[in-house]
Amino acid sequence: MDGVKPDWLRVAVPAAAGPTVRRMGELLRARGLPTVCRSAHCPNLPICWGQGTVTFMIGGDVCTRACRFCAVPHGRPEAPDPEEPGRLARAVNELGLRYVVLTSVDRDDLPDGGGAHYAAAIRAVREAVPDALVEALLPDFGGDREALRTVVAAGPTVVGHNLETVRRLSPLVRDRRAGYDLSLSVLRTLKELDPRLRTKSSLLLGLGETEDELGEALADLRAAGVDIIVLGQYLRPTPRQLPVARYVPPEEFRRWEERARAMGFPGVVSGPMARTSFRAAEAYREVVGQPQPATLCPPEAQACLELDSRAPKKPEGFLG
């Protein structure tokens, strides 16, 4: 199915963003901070980095799980670097970020699944930049309630955990240690631990799911109290991952957006190029009813100021 890509998977890369993207890459490499943008071969990278937006990947760059949709290297990771939270906080400061999105690899090798390290990273950012909001996209920690409690206690504003796909396809698409019911239970637990938390989850479309199955997954996520739902096209990062079963047209993403809103999700991001961390600040503001700023980047972000004065473009298909 991968074959020729449909028109809606064309990403316009503004030439003016090039130098900013290069500087961002150099800074992150110099600070030794992996990003999911790079590791996942995210097609939004040149747009997001060009606007000074980045999603950090903490806990190292080797995952203990081998999900079949994901290009992040898997294997036996080294112990988490205790200096990483400090480096992360300094980079957040340098980049002038006020909405910080963190994600991490799975750390099944650690007794707490990496919960304490994740919490340390959130605390470091909040101490260094007290007015920054932190969105934490979490692994399932094997369902360990204490690990989830540790992360929640560190004070993230939004916590996410991805269901990724429908029930039937979960064993095919995700690592055997992940699970549809486990993920729903993680999302329910997060809300129980702090009902004020905004929770978020994502589903990849185009893996072979049916309309009924997708409707069921959305209903299950809503029943688990999820506030923000992200629906995006599955894109094969390299020939080693699962092939795309279907390219879902933008009109269908729009219909799913309407349906998700009708189901009661306060925040919906739906479109072929939507990803969990994509337009994360906007999705949060939508949920809490804050007005959106005129540009995607915080005015204080140096990386943004160095761009030319054109308003950031929203490429076709970015939002349903």
Partner 1 sequence: MGRKEDVVDIVVPELGEVEEVKLVRWLKAVGEEVEAGEAVAEVEADKAVFVIEAPSTGILAEAHVSEGGSTRPGEIIGRVKPG
**Residues at the contact surface with partner 1, assessed by CB under 8 A:** 2, 5, 9-18, 21-22, 25, 35, 37-43, 45-46, 49, 71, 235-239, 273, 310
Q: Which is nearer to partner 1, 220 or 252 (CB)?
A: 252
Distance CA 83, CA 101 (A): 19
Token output for 163:
């269901």
* The one-letter amino acid at 176: R
Shortest CB 220 distance to partner 1, Å = 28
Token output for 305:
């100021």
Q: Which is nearer to partner 1, 18 or 293 (CB)?
A: 18
Q: Which is nearer to partner 1, 141 or 247 (CB)?
A: 247
Distance CA 78, CA 288 (A): 39
3-state SS assignment for residue 122? helix
Token output for 253:
């993403």
Q: Which is nearer to partner 1, 22 or 211 (CB)?
A: 22
Shortest CB 273 distance to partner 1, Å = 8
CA dihedral 62, 64, 70, 72 (to 10 degrees): 0
Shortest CB 59 distance to partner 1, Å = 18
Q: Which is nearer to partner 1, 41 or 177 (CB)?
A: 41
3-state SS assignment for residue 161? coil
> Residue 27: exposed, middle, or buried by beta-carbon count in 10 A (0-12, 13-18, 19+)?
middle
Q: Which is nearer to partner 1, 52 or 85 (CB)?
A: 52
Shortest CB 237 distance to partner 1, Å = 6
Q: Which of 197, 73, 190 is nearest to 140 (CA)?
A: 190
Shortest CB 214 distance to partner 1, Å = 21
Q: Which of 292, 289, 290, 217 is nearest to 260 (CA)?
A: 217
Shortest CB 81 distance to partner 1, Å = 20
Token output for 259:
């349906």
Shortest CB 22 distance to partner 1, Å = 6
Q: Which is nearer to partner 1, 215 or 237 (CB)?
A: 237
Q: Please say whether the beta carbons of 226 and 265 come within 8 A.
A: yes
Shortest CB 285 distance to partner 1, Å = 27
Give CA angle at 161 (155, 167), nearest 5°.
160
Q: Rounded to whole angstroms, what are the CA distances from 107 to 181, 201, 272, 298?
A: 20, 20, 29, 32
Q: Which is nearer to partner 1, 177 or 236 (CB)?
A: 236
